[in-house]
Amino acid sequence: MATPNPSNTTFILIPGSFSTPSEYDKVDALLQKQNHPTKHVELLSVNDGTRIPPATTEQDTAHIRAAILSVLDDQHHNAILCLHSYSGVPGSSALQGLSKKDRLEAGKDTAVLGIVYIGSFLPAVGQSLRSILGEEMPEPYKTGFPGEYFPAIPVDFAPFVFNDVEDQAEVAKYHGIMTRHSSDSYGGECTYAAWKDIESVQIIPERDVILPVGAQEAMYETAVRDGGKVKRVFMEGVGHCVNVSRPQLVVDELVGLLEAAS
Mean pLDDT score, 153-170 = 95
User: What CA–CA distance (Å, rounded) separates 77 from 75?
Assistant: 5
pLDDT, position 2: 61
**Is the distance from CB of 240 to CB of 161 less than 8 angstroms?**
yes
Whether this prediction's pTM lies above 0.75 is answered by yes
Q: What would the pLDDT profile of 162-187 be if each residue is shown by its tens digit?
A: 999 999 999 999 999 999 999 999 99
Residue pLDDT, tens place only, 93-140: 999 999 999 999 999 999 999 999 999 999 999 999 999 999 999 999
Domains of the chain in start order, with CATH, are 6-261 (3.40.50.1820)
How many whole angstroms separate alpha carbon 148 and alpha carbon 65? 24
Phi, psi of 193 (to 5 degrees): -90, 90
- C-alpha to C-alpha distances, 138 to 95, 129, 131, 208, nearest whole angstrom: 30, 12, 13, 15
What angle separates helix 25-33 from helix 247-261, to the nearest 10 degrees? 50
